[in-house]
DNA sequence: ATCATCTGTTAGCGGTGACTAACGTTAGCG
DNA sequence: CGCTAACGTTAGTCACCGCTAACAGATGAT
């Protein structure tokens, strides 16, 4: 379970949809598969990728497997993005101050709020 | 520039490193390429992907092209992750309350703080 | 104009990943 | 035990992606 695994997992659109679904409610594999037009097998493989990336967790109820999003799996990604965001704002600010920035078409510098 | 584009762009490890570098400081294509063991061309292609995904911005200085991270490009991703995070916490909490959760090995529920 | 520097574009190769169909495992009921 | 329901695993196909080498364009100095 690395940030690399998580980001690779999220690069595929269907897996993002799956993650949204199981972030809202715990669902069985069959219920998840029912929301897509591809085969059950394809969904099963996607679920395995997400699980291995630490983004969701599975429990069994009889023959059913229930999946829900795992918040911890997203923590590293949020941190990664926060660092990027903060660094990018800082750099943009510095460039403005040294008059090196904003000469490429009036790019707006978002407020850090 | 969609969230899909951005997440696909970030699925590749070298592109993540590139984004980190240009979040810290504005760099030329050559400087960026110098930080890697692959060809200049490969880096040029990565820069194109990141630019098209709206994650960085380019300006010219003579023959040089200078790149820096574009904070706005990360906004959608942060929002996506925030939604996932909030939803996942909420779902986990609900499952605890209905005694349906945490029966899969003592999965800890992070605080929403 | 020529030359040096910088760097993007293109085409082809080999590896990867999402799909499917077929096969296999687990749980529970009668 | 046999059967059903639920769903994972495997292997092959084909589209996609990151790499390289070759080619090409832009900038500025002389």
Are A69 and B75 inside 8 Å of each other by CB?
no
**What confidence category does residue A19 fall into, taking pLDDT thresholds of 50, 70 and 90?**
very high
Average pLDDT over residues B46-70: 96
DSSP 8-state secondary structure symbol assigned to residue B53: T
Measured distance CA(B103)–CA(B107) in Å, rounded: 8
Question: Residue B60, exposed/middle/buried by CB under 10 A (0-12, 13-18, 19+)?
Answer: exposed
Looking at the complex, report in whole angstroms how far the Cα of residue A31 sits from the nearest Cα belonging to chain B: 17
Q: Where are the domains of chain A?
A: 3-71
**What confidence category does residue B96 fall into, taking pLDDT thresholds of 50, 70 and 90?**
confident
With CA atoms as reference, the chain A residue closest to B84 would be: A23
| CATH code for the domain defined by B3-72 | 1.10.10.10
Query: Model-level pTM greater than 0.95?
Result: no
Chain D bases near protein Cβ (<7 Å):
5-11, 17-22, 25-28
CATH C-level class of A3-71 = mainly alpha
Give chain A positions within 8 Å (CB) of B81.
74, 77-78, 81
| Helix residue spans in B1-113 (DSSP H) | 3-10, 13-24, 29-34, 40-52, 72-97
Measured CA B94 to C1' D4 distance, in angstroms? 32
Q: Is the CB of A49 under 7 A from strand D?
A: no
For residues A81, A87, A91, A93, the Cα torsion angle rounded to the nearest 10 degrees is: 90
Strand order in the sheet with B27-28: B27-28, B64-69, B56-61
Looking at the complex, report in whole angstroms how far the Cα of residue A39 sits from the nearest Cα belonging to chain B: 22
Is A68 in the B-facing interface, judged by CB distances under 8 Å?
yes
Predicted ipTM of the assembly: 0.87
Q: Looking at A5-9, A94-98, A100-104, which range is the least confident one?
A: A100-104
Is A102 in the B-facing interface, judged by CB distances under 8 Å?
no
């Amino acid at each position: 379970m690395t940030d690399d695994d998580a980001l690779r997992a999220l690069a595929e659109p269907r897996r993002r949809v799956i993650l949204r679904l199981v972030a809202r409610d715990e669902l069985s594999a069959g219920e998840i598969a029912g929301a897509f037009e591809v085969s059950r097998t394809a969904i099963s493989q996607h679920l395995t990728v997400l699980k291995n990336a630490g983004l969701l967790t599975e429990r069994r109820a009889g023959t059913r497997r229930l999946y829900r999003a795992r918040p911890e799996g997203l923590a590293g990604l949020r941190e990664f993005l926060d660092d990027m965001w903060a660094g990018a704002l800082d750099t943009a600010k510095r460039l403005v101050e040294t008059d090196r920035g904003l000469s490429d078409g009036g790019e707006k510098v978002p407020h850090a709020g």
